[in-house]
Structure 1
């Protein structure tokens, strides 16, 4: 028998159901998340999120915000039913309802150009010249993919 879990990949924003083999093992979760150390985050009274404990690292290209959680979550996230202990169950919430709790974010670097001739201590900067870069975060809702993979 198989169970269903919901997998969110902040990099692609895809949020989809996946099949997990029935049993009492966290091994399938480690494989889905592709990490060495899993952290359990309480989703609600009936659900838990499994996340990469070491997801926030150098070279971060995307992350997810989870409503009500104090810090970003990086790496793939797996939502299951239960309190995070074994055996976990299929989620009791719909994929669409679960997605409302997440925002996928990625850093974007925008060039900043001089809008008028500017005189700086280093000399004249001509209109249209590159002054530097500015960082912003692009925020998107998860993209729902129906059907199990």
Structure 2
């Protein structure tokens, strides 16, 4: 089995060795992030080789990795979850992400998801931002 790593053009090794490294993100000059796969799990790393997410079954490159927003979607244990860089909070579970909306296009104001109960619902950008900001407010009062 081959292993892969990212190297800078000056031969400096940026990443460790992994089973797979996706081309979206850092390697396509879309952002400072990239997705690696190791032992059938995926995680996001930054340009300095620092791991910025936990390991999941799957991570969508749209959003954070492709440089469109600070949000990223993961799939774990059969469900999708919405995450934001730097936050420990997650929103979900969802059966499906129907429309990525503002995660991939900042001019949009909603995303659409399917709940585990097979209902389609919309999440407004301001509501999602407020959800993730609550964590910061909690930390400031400690």
Give 1 or 2 for the bigger CA radius of gyration. 1
More helix per residue: 2
Specify which structure has the bigger relative contact order, considering alpha-carbon pairs within 8 angstroms and separated by 6 or more residues: 1
TM over 0.5: no
